[in-house]
Amino acid sequence: MQKPKILDILSADDSFQTIVRFTMRTWLYLSATLFLGAPALFPAAAPTIDFDRQIRPILSDNCFTCHGPDEKRRMAGLHFDTKEGAFGKPDVIVPGDSSKSKMYLKISSTNEAMRMPPKAFGRTLTPVQIETIKKWIDGGAKWETHWAYTPPKRPELPKVQDAKWVRNPIDQFVLAKLEKEGLHPTPETDRITLLRRVTFDLTGLPPTPAEEKAFLADKSPQAYEKLVDRLLASPHYGERMAMQWLDFARYSDTHGYHIDSAREMWPWRDWVISAFNKNMPYDEFTIEQIAGDLLPHATQAQIIATGFNRNHMINFEGGAIPEEYQNEYIVDRIEATSATWLGVTLGCARCHDHKYDPLRQKDFYSFGAFFNSVKEKGLDGYKGNAVPFLQLPNKEQADMKARLLEAIKEKDAEIGKAETRWEDEQRAVEAKDITAGLAARYPFEDSLANETKSDAPAKLVGGKMGYTAGRIGRALDLTNEGQLSFPGAGPSATDKPFTASMWVSVGGPSGMTLLAHYDKLPKDGPGYEIAVDYCNKGNCNIIVRMHGADPAALLETKSVEGIELGKSDEGQTPQHWDHVAVAYDGSGRAKGVQIYVNGRSVKTSVLQDRLGAPASFGKGELQIGNKDWGTPFKGQLADLRFYDRRIYAGEAYNLGLLSPLASVLKIPETKRSEDQKEWVRAYFLQQAGNPAEQQLGVDAKQLQRGLDQLNREIPSTMVMAEMDKPRDTFVLRRGDYQLKGDKVEPNTPAVLPPLPKDAPRNRLTLARWIVDPGNPLTARVAVNHFWQMAFGLGIVKTSEDFGSQGDPPSNQELLDWLATQFVSSHWDVKALEKLIVTSATYRQGSHVTPDMLEKDPENRLLARGPRFRLPAEMVRDNALAVSGLINDKIGGPSVLPYQPKGLWEEMAFGGDFSAQTYVQGHGDDLYRRSLYTFVKRTVPYPTLNTFDAPDREKCTVRRSTTNTPLQALVLMNDPTFVEASRALAQRDLIEAGPTTAERIRYAFRLATDRDPTPKEAAILEGLYKKEMAHYDTDHGAADKLLSVGESKRNPKLNAAELAAWTLVSSTILNMDETITKN
Amino acid sequence: MNPFRDREINLTRRQLFGRTSQGIGVVALASLLNPKLLADTPAAAPPKSAAAFGGLADLPHFAPKAKRIIYLHQSGAPSQIDLFDYKPKLAAMAGSELPDSVRQGQRITGMTSGQNSLPVAPSIFKFNRVGENGVWMSELLPHTSKIVDDITLIKTVNTDAINHDPAITFIQTGFMQPGRPSMGSWVTYGLGSENQNLPAFVVLISQANALNRDQPLFTRLWSSGFLPSKYQGVRFRASGDPVLFLANPEGVDGKTRRDMLDTLSELNHITEQTYGDPEVTTRISQYEMAYRMQSSVPELTDLSKEPASTFELYGPDSKKPGTYAANCLMARRLAERGVRFIQLYHRGWDQHNDLPRDLALQCGGTDQASAALVTDLKQRGLLDDTLVIWGGEFGRTVYCQGHLTKENYGRDHHPRCFTMWFAGGGIKRGFSLGETDDFSYNAVADPVPIHDVQATVLNCLGIDHSRLTYKFQGRHFRLTDVAGVVNKKILA
């Protein structure tokens, strides 16, 4: 026995591999059975070799890496991915004669150095595989194009013996296969099990007692069909269908990368629910999600639908490079779109040509070009939704907004009147400029002149500079690394008093030196500087540093309140002017430094106060923008002045406010700049106006705050919108955004049918191409998804990969029939669902015999009905439903039910960002269906995550279904389930009859829809008696157990009894049968 | 009095053989198969020579040197220039511009690309020669200095990412974008568990000591990606239940829980007989594993039996649950109990500004415990088969971010070289690999890309990184993507 052989046969299932090592006895047993038995589905005894199923997987898995579609990696010029490649050289594969086929001779060589694949490659062919290839060549080496790339042809219905069993064509295909394998279908399951199965499958909820009663009472032959029709018409049908679709769309309530703050996409989620409920044809459903915005006269709903491709993760990590993430968004759209609709993973071609499928790297980027023209930013989302998004006010909000805007307008007019009155009074007042001790003044009115000393202007010593508008007059623009020197300006020693006064508009976010004067390098001094500190939330502190002769001699003072940073928006930095004055008394002490901002003295904190002996600043000159002295200033400066004395508070007020304000008031109102208007108004409302006038300002602010708040409350959702001029798209070498290769145009992969020649190359054309009946993949992939929901596995098990590395369909005729049927029904999803759930195949019992388990462990032949654990959402929804706690409201913002404390906070970035702290909801929010639970990507909701709900970082087409101890802990101890147990017990005690037997029967039936067997009832009764006795002697314990959860405990019920029934209910909710679709 | 016992003994060939798309709960099944475990009471120590439970049939590929990993991830990126990579020549260049010949046009982050100057900031910290080989190490790491003869330093680890999210995702999953399994998931998928009372892959998080407490963590760092989610790391928490939902609700005592589980087992047994589905058998045993965890986890987290000498070794913080020191001690206890992959995260290493203050605080909170862990493992004979990894996701720049003074500076992200250290199973002791240029900017000898680190770590576990693969979306994925070379120079 050789290990690899068995593993090859079974390699598809990892969990199996993990099992086979336990004991030698098992090992031998497995080896014997499997090796001799060969794969159950496709017996080696089949008369002819099936190329698609038996040969291509071997070639693709073992040979394509070096002999496949990727031309760059191709060895010896040989490739086996196409017929031309395989038979291009006559002696490689000689049809009918393996002994002359070099390919066969290589793979079967006993000489290790000669044998293919090479040892270093790490993969080896098993004897079975080598033999299969031999048989294929000897049998004529028939070649077929990979099945999935050929459009499905509607197959004839196959002949079957047991025609009575057949309810619809699905059954005919399934039965034909079973009969071929010598298997028989399992008899139809009982009505109750069927009711429960189909209700979960179509609504995600268990049937209610009333629904159950109605169904059981309906003895008509159409009873089941009527049931299915009722379920398909239920508003909860859309919710159930959306559950799977949200995984595809990687739907989430947070951005996912790094800070992972909140976003709003629930209007898109609700669109999906509604589209399924309305039974929107699948082609329209597809077109609207990919390109609804491009449809002629697109409706709001059609634009909302395009959120599918805005659900990807979005980044705004500080320091991240926009281009890098812009590229990731495109990659994600390619992957999600191709996996969801085409069942191929174009993602593999990101870095190089696909190794296994005929998908080239160029195809990947050409496909991406469709998505590279969205009006979006590489880094965005720090305040919620990233552009482009759509605001969706309800009627009330729209009215409120209109009212607020009107009120703001009125208030504004009122303020304007008052302001004009005030201004008229002010015009007569003259504010005298402060000139005493003025040693240098640079107005920067389009020159570097020094007003007080005409022979000592400032000079440009490096970089570029310019002039721009200031608050009043002109200003110096230093956004381009300009370096200036100011000969003779400013103080010359640490014991000389001085005042520096200037208007500043800060244009860079980092700490920057405004101006400095140092004697030598490095900046140990002596010398001084005035700097802008790191800006925190738009506020930048001012720092004054003065150095003595000794490196340790330093005076450093920092303002506690600072100046405002210009609002930066993708490189554009609108000016924001503040006046800064630094006055120093020459004392050498920190308390001798005072900083004024906009005419007012600000609080300072002393960082260093050990300047020591007076020191001269030496020969150097005052400079701005000297890189050696710190990060140079970036922004604008105006009216720079130096006084050779310290100025006092009143003078600073004059300098920083009154004088310049007076000069603005002289400008006619119509000629003032927006900045000047705002400034005058702010001064009037905050300082100059009388109390009644100042109150107007307070009122206006309040109105504005109301509007801002309303804007935050109005929901929005991210959508697609085209740029006026699309970005260019390039092939990126190794997938790296920095390594641009050839430019590409929007296009679809070459292996698939081409786009219509004259259609515009945009998303709408792409969407229509996807749902074109000539597309070989879309309909097959779609029916496979719907099949997967009902049977647990798709007809193609690898529902995310229909390519040559994917699993072949277990029944291709069935798949193709369903696909063609789906298209010819005009993509009618409900009709397809009905076809599936009314088939005899679906209605089979799900019991399995040992023999069947051996032959078909995964139930791919469908000789029995589906049985698997409910998906995460249904595990929780079921507990809420049977306990009666559920709130079945459909749609709306996501909710935050119980979650252990600190889960987000321990990992979150924090700060002012949203979704950093978990604020648990209350009331109905605790009992909403699970698809409304807030999805935070970096910290998934534990209750659902434990049951395999994905984290939604990427498109997930197929979930794993695990069975772990952590799931047991959730079901036993999560407050959601403990509370549900208590609620179920309460319901039981109120609604069921008074006897223990009746109560057990009722609770059991609520959870499983069937009566317990006498044995089961006896087992539960035993537990009840034990716990009743226990809680009867320990009322404290009972009270504690009954206090779990926020819903009110029924005070009329006896505590001990309720606690005992809570335990019994919890046991029932934990049963395998309760969390399983049987 | 254990009703499961009969079930276990009655386990049939059919159930063993049975597999579904869901797969059998491997760990649980393993414990069913191991008669020795049936005798174990929940709190009992695991068998010393326990074979692996679960894991792939062909693993390990060769004899492993290490059986388990303790990965001390310092999230945010510690400054290699201030801790390990001694650059005495920088003192003379303080404040001067980083030469273009050094930077070579390599990209810098959006946080300093707007800075017009990139002034060189020498470390203000003293370096000493430590250990037998006289390795240079910063005064901030007095305790690590003492274990230097037990570790291998690599000064030339380099990464492709320049920001935290992609960099930490890369070093933990082998790919900069989300979606891949973490290293711990790969290891537990490949090797299975060494114990049956605790998860195979445990995650411990400790918060920053620095005043700037930057950098979030993401579940994706320990998620199983496209591997089945049972391979996801299990977060052990310092507050509330150590494992989510571990404790019974108030008012449910151990006996009641046992009664409930016995009842549940009987009912599930009936279901199993009715449907013949082996998943039910697995579920029964998973409830038993959950029950065992309810005893084994509190026993694990109860430090009352640790002698005073332990707390002296790890430092006073080790008595405060959730601190880095307490987590290091917990890591040793997990290792003792056969947990395969123990992943620690310590936040707060992102010193863009106020580096001298905050780096000192970070080291103050971690240095003693990191060193204590190695010492403790060594004393207990566990260091021989445990691999300890220490490091961040990238390094920090030689140039100053923001305002440079003699006393204060900050450093931006630096991907091209940073230092990690390794100790224990399979790794050389008292060894240092790699040289960087005078600016700690580029590797000049023995560069070690992230994928090589990962390949080498797997190698210590007896895993050929190119053969530990999982087929997903038609491709055989692996931790090291399409790269990775085992660095034999650091192997013992």
pLDDT digits (tens, 9 = 90+) for B284-300: 999 999 999 999 999 99
Average pLDDT of B150-164? Answer: 96
Rounded Cα–Cα distance for residues A688 and A597 (Å): 18
- pLDDT for residue A875 is more than 90: yes
In this prediction, residue B6 has a pLDDT band, given cuts at 50, 70 and 90, of: very low
Per-residue pLDDT, B163: 94
DSSP states of B322-382 as a string? TSHHHHHHHHHHHHHTT-SEEEEEE-----SS-HHHHHHHHHHHHHHHHHHHHHHHHHTT-
Among A964, A1028, A1075, which would you mutate to test the B interface (most chain B Cβ atoms within 10 Å of its Cβ)? Answer: A964
CB atoms < 10 A from the CB of B167, how many?
21
Which residues in A186-197 are b (16+ Cβ under 10 Å) and which e?
A: bebbebbbbbbb
1009-1068 in A: which are within 8 Å (CB) of B?
1013, 1015-1016, 1019-1020, 1022-1023, 1026-1027, 1030, 1036-1044, 1059, 1063, 1066-1067
Confidence of residue A17 (pLDDT cuts 50, 70, 90): very low
Q: Does residue A13 register a pLDDT over 50?
A: no
The per-residue pLDDT for range B386-438, each reduced to its tens digit, is: 999 999 999 999 999 988 888 899 999 999 999 999 999 999 999 999 999 99
In the structure encoding, which two tokens stand for residue B334, read together?
A: 């997990």
Q: Give A322's contacts in chain B (Cβ within 8 Å).
A: 110
- Is the confidence at residue A1013, as pLDDT, over 80? yes
* Percentage with pLDDT > 70 across chain B: 89
**Distance, CA of A183 to CA of A186 (rounded, Å):** 9
Asked which of A108-112, A771-775, B409-413 is least confident by mean pLDDT, the reply is: A108-112
Q: What does the pLDDT read at residue A574?
A: 62
As a whole number, mean pLDDT of residues A847-852 equals 90
Hey, what amino acid is at A760? P
Q: What whole-number percentage of chain B has pLDDT above 90?
A: 78
Per-residue confidence (pLDDT) for residue A37, from 0 to 100? 35
Least CA distance to B188: which residue of chain A?
Answer: A18
Q: Do A939 and B219 touch (CB under 8 A)?
A: yes
Between A853 and B346, the more confident residue is B346
Best mutation site among B263, B463, B470, B481 for testing chain A: the one with the most A CBs within 10 Å? B263
Whether A521 contacts chain B with CB within 8 A: yes
Beta-strand pair A438-442/A459-462: unpaired
A residues 383..412 contacting B (CB < 8 A)? none
Contact A805 B165 (CB under 8 A): no
Average pLDDT of the segment spanning A174-189:
95
Asked if B473 and A846 come within 8 Å (Cβ–Cβ), the reply is no
| Shortest Cα distance, chain B CAs vs residue A425, angstroms | 47
- Chain A residues with CB under 8 Å of B245 CB are 900, 942, 966, 969-970, 972-974
Cα A249 from Cα A276, distance rounded (Å): 15
Q: Which of B24, B219, B350 should we substitute to test contact with A (largest number of A Cβ atoms within 10 Å)?
A: B219
Which residue from B minimizes the CA distance to A257? B165
Q: What pLDDT does B249 receive? A: 97
The pLDDT of residue B38 is above 60: no
Average per-residue pLDDT for chain B:
88
Cβ contact, residue pair A907, B205, below 8 Å: yes
Task: Give me the pLDDT at residue A410, please.
Answer: 95
Q: Is 70 exceeded by the pLDDT of residue B352?
A: yes
Highest-scoring range by mean pLDDT, A665-674, B1-10, B230-239: B230-239
Tell me the shortest Cα–Cα distance from A551 to chain B, in angstroms.
9
Asked if residue B264 has pLDDT above 90, the reply is yes
Please indicate if any CB of chain B lies within 8 Å of the CB of A565: no
Q: Inspect the interface and report whether the beta carbons of B293 and A969 lie closer than 8 Å.
A: yes
Tokens linked to A119? 């040892």
Would you say residue A46 has pLDDT above 50?
no
Cross-chain Cβ contact A960/B228 below 8 Å: yes
- Region A21-29: what's the mean pLDDT? 36
* Structural tokens at position A516: 């400095």
Instruction: State the average pLDDT over residues A311-316.
Output: 96
* Pairing verdict, β B201-206 and B234-236: parallel
The pLDDT value given to residue B49: 35
- Summarize the confidence of residues A680-693 as an average pLDDT: 89
Measured between CB atoms, which of B27, B216, B412 is closest to A259? B216
Which of B14, B18, B239 comes nearest A902 by C-beta?
A: B239
Of A481, A511, A906, the CB nearest to B205: A906
In this complex, do A21 and B163 lie within 8 Å of one another by their Cβ atoms? Answer: no
Residue A571 scores a pLDDT above 50: no
- Substitution target in A540, A627, A631, A1025 with the highest count of B β-carbons within 10 Å is A631
CB contact, 8 Å: A803 with chain B? yes
Binned at pLDDT 50, 70 and 90, residue A520 comes out as: low
Chain A residue at shortest CA distance from B57: A21
Note whether A810 contacts B: Cβ–Cβ < 8 A.
no
Closest residue on chain B to A1019 (Cα):
B263
The closest CB to that of A857, out of B20, B178, B257, belongs to B20
* Residues of chain B neighbouring A1013 (CB-CB closer than 8 A): 270
- Is the predicted pLDDT of residue A142 greater than 80, yes or no? yes
- Rounded Cα distance, A275 and A265, in Å: 16
Q: How far is B431 from chain A (nearest CA, A)?
A: 31
pLDDT digits (tens, 9 = 90+) for A417-427: 999 888 888 87
At A620, the amino acid letter reads G
pLDDT band at A469 (very low <50, low <70, confident <90, very high): confident
Burial status of residue A977 (CB atoms within 10 A of its CB: 0-12, 13-18, 19 or more): buried
Q: What is the DSSP string of B404-451?
A: --SS---EEEE-S-EEEEEEETTB-SSEEE-EE-TTS-SEEE--EEHH
Contact A973 B247 (CB under 8 A): yes
pLDDT at residue number A582: 95
Quote the pLDDT of residue A462.
85
CA distance to partner chain B, nearest, from residue A161 (Å): 27
Q: Do A16 and B33 touch (CB under 8 A)?
A: no
Q: Is A627 on the interface with B (CB under 8 A)?
A: yes
> pLDDT tens digits for A254-292?
999 999 999 999 999 999 999 999 999 999 999 999 999
Give me the residue from A510, A938, A948 closest to B402, CB to CB.
Answer: A510
For residue A916, what is the nearest residue in chain B, using CA coordinates? B216
Mean per-residue pLDDT, A876-889 = 97
Supply the pTM of this predicted model. Answer: 0.82
Whether pLDDT at A11 is above 60: no
A-B C-beta contacts closer than 8 Å? 380
pLDDT for B21 equals 33
Please check whether residue A1065 is in contact with residue A1003, taking contact to mean a CB–CB distance below 8 angstroms. Answer: yes
B229 and A318 within 8 Å at the Cβ level: the answer is no
Q: Is pLDDT at A1020 greater than 70 in this prediction?
A: yes
pLDDT over 60 at A173, yes or no: yes
Chain B touched by A328 (CB under 8 Å)? yes
Average pLDDT, chain A: 89
Distance from CA of A775 to the nearest CA of B (A): 20
Distance (Å, rounded) from C-alpha A534 to C-alpha A853?
68
> Does the distance separating the beta carbons of B245 and A972 come in below 8 Å?
yes
Q: Which residues, other chains included, contact B55 with Cβ-Cβ below 8 Å and sequence gap of 6+?
A: A18, A21, B26, B188, B189, B190, B191, B192, B193
Contact with chain B for residue A2, Cβ under 8 A = no
> Would the CB atoms of A20 and B57 count as touching at under 8 Å?
yes
- Helices (H), ranges, B10-130: 13-17, 26-33, 35-38, 80-83, 100-103
- Which of A345, A1038, A1070 has the CB atom closest to B473's CB atom? A345
Tell which wins on pLDDT, A506 or A47: A506
Cβ within 8 Å, pair A16-B259: no
Is residue A1045 predicted with pLDDT exceeding 80?
yes
Band (A3; pLDDT cuts 50, 70, 90): very low
Does position A565 have pLDDT exceeding 70, yes or no?
Answer: no
Å between B282 CA and nearest CA of chain A: 7
Q: Supply the pLDDT for residue B219.
A: 95
Q: Which of B20, B223, B263 sits opposite A1067 (nearest CB)?
A: B263
Mean pLDDT to the nearest integer, A536-543? 78
B54: Cα separation from own chain's centroid:
20
* Residues of chain A found within 8 Å of residue B471, distances taken between Cβ atoms: 11-12, 805
* B153 neighbors B84 (Cβ within 8 angstroms): yes
What confidence score (pLDDT) does residue A524 get?
A: 63
Least CA distance to B110: which residue of chain A? A319
Q: What is the pLDDT of residues B283-339, one digit of tens each?
A: 999 999 999 999 999 999 999 999 999 999 999 999 999 999 999 999 999 999 999
The per-residue DSSP string of A532-546 comes to EEEEETTEEEEEEEE
